[in-house]
A and B are shown apart, each in its own frame.
Chain A
């Protein structure tokens, strides 16, 4: 990606009291992508988002939105952002529509037509004049997205947007966000502690743990980004085959199972090893490349700490 980033996070730190919660995050986010912010509960996702939208002071480092420093040039920077921080809390005693009117009065240029458009986009036409206290969590989440999109921002930040939604709701949100990024060119930032969800929704993810960014990678690279692959050979007898692998591959990591051997090796070496195995009279029932799931990879990167 050679374009200039819409959001630039530079060495972002947060200290509360004498406890450092965020230890220097640096990453960029581009137009048209869905960026996932992944990490277990307490990793610091919400704290980072709070700093990005100016709700919390920045101890050190910078957040730039279209080049505007959120701490120094708040009004300009924030006018490009739409966000939900944690739960989409709205005024329950007002109707959904009044809530949107409320937020529309705080920015310039949001017309009644725009409100109507956004309501339609999130599919709340039927319930928009009901009080928010009658809404389901999914409806509140959608109203939350509506208020975030009202002023046509370039950056959409959603903190755990799928929290408490049923699978259908999750699918719907995922569909939305992809559409917003692809068709409208928004930069979408979502946080989650659920891996499977991120895998389906995001183009890139940054993994956050204990306030540190462990890595930022493309989803595809992340899952299969290595030269060496784990290859599974279903063979018989396993013991004899293992000796052949040990002799032929000097540094391949080998693990054996009941009726298979997993070998970490380069793809190009497979034909040669097959010839060796056949010559030694080993029966081969199958050879398959093992792609790691994001989950396995995640556990590997975070040192096996369980998420969720």
Chain B
């Protein structure tokens, strides 16, 4: 007899109620001491923007799911996967070191678990996103993470994006990420999350498996990144 994981057993209600195909996205957020102050304040506001933007689109609000992992001192799952109507941006407090490697592994696990729950509940899904936001460099074993991210990108199990905030070690980020890491200009978190929600809306209206050309985040009035 099959083992039924708690994740899928208890989520069957939410999936039955809303069987739309899902676009899962894990935000892996640095909450180490260096993020204290304006950075975290702007980031928190950005999360609220993200939610509001998704809510404006009837289909995206049923399809895009966000989960949050924070790493500051220790790695924590702060928000399990929820669609925009159920998303309450968590209170973020800066504390401790930067266990980025462990956080990324946790994100990969979280994505895998979610995919399993989709399968058990007959829910179609798009390629999950893992979205890393950091202003530092890992203080744990991060080397093994590189091959995991590479493998995941290669067999299309997820897309990995890394965004460096002022102070980030872009060299390490480009070693971890297969895609070119993006450098956040100033504290344009609002623009970043607007871009994120727009891109995911576009994805959510395409069909799973289809490649969607994303808006270029580095140009135009709504651009927020540099390379």
Question: Do chains A and B stick together as partners?
Answer: no
Interface residues of A (CB under 8 A from B): none
